[in-house]
Amino acid sequence: MNFLTADVYDAAPDQARVCTLDFRNYGGKSAFWGQCVTLRSNSHRPGVQMLATPGSSRVLIIDGGGTSSFALLGATMAANAVRNDWAGVIVCGAIRDTPELCLLDLGIKALGTSPALWTAFIDNMRDVPVTFGGVTFNPGDWVYADHDGVVVRSTPCVLGQGHPDQANY
């Protein structure tokens, strides 16, 4: 995949929304893109269910409220995501199992890590707009992520002769 979020932004600044959170990269893929599926949750369990379904090269956005008290993604979930063709996962919160995550062919961005899991299942909402880092992620939006950050668009970006993965950089 050959694209830079800076190029996605520069292609149409009026259509690009830039997430201002300083995410860290944890997956084996440092750049990834796809249409997003959203999940607002305070437990890892809904993410387990989501990543066990076909991803079709989409990106799962998990809004965990920025918590660092417990992880919302771990190695077993991420391995399921790879098997089920998810392009990546962006977590507004913590993750765990980082030595294993970096070996997977999956884009993973999160705010930090925690060895703990929250075992209580309290609340979750799927396919709803979620907002963090000054950006609202709507289900079906196009998300582009790399080392520079996260750019969100309502429509796919076209660079060069086609979609970003077809551009030559």
Give me the pLDDT at residue 120, please.
Answer: 64
* Contact between residue 48 and residue 72 where contact means Cβ atoms under 8 Å apart: no
Range of lowest pLDDT (17-21, 85-89, 108-112, 164-168): 164-168
The answer to whether residue 14 is domain-embedded is yes
Helix, strand and coil content of the chain, in percent to the nearest 5, comes to 20, 40, 45
Averaged pLDDT for residues 9-15: 95
- Written as one letter, the residue type at 54 is P
Q: Name the residue among 113, 39, 41, 30 with its Cα closest to residue 75.
A: 113
Tell me the pLDDT tens digit for each residue of 80-92: 999 999 999 999 9
Quick check: is 129 in a domain? Answer: yes
| Beta-bridge partners for 150 | 19, 145
Banded model confidence at residue 162, pLDDT cuts 50, 70, 90: very low
When divided into structural domains, the chain yields a total of 1
Express as a percent the part of the chain with pLDDT over 70. 91
Owning domain of residue 77: 5-155
Residue-wise pLDDT for 57-78, tens only, equals 999 999 999 999 999 999 999 9
Task: Report the CATH number at residue 27.
Answer: 3.50.30.40
Of residues 42 and 8, more confidence is placed in 8
How high is the mean pLDDT of the chain?
91
DSSP 5: H
Residue 126 scores a pLDDT above 50: yes
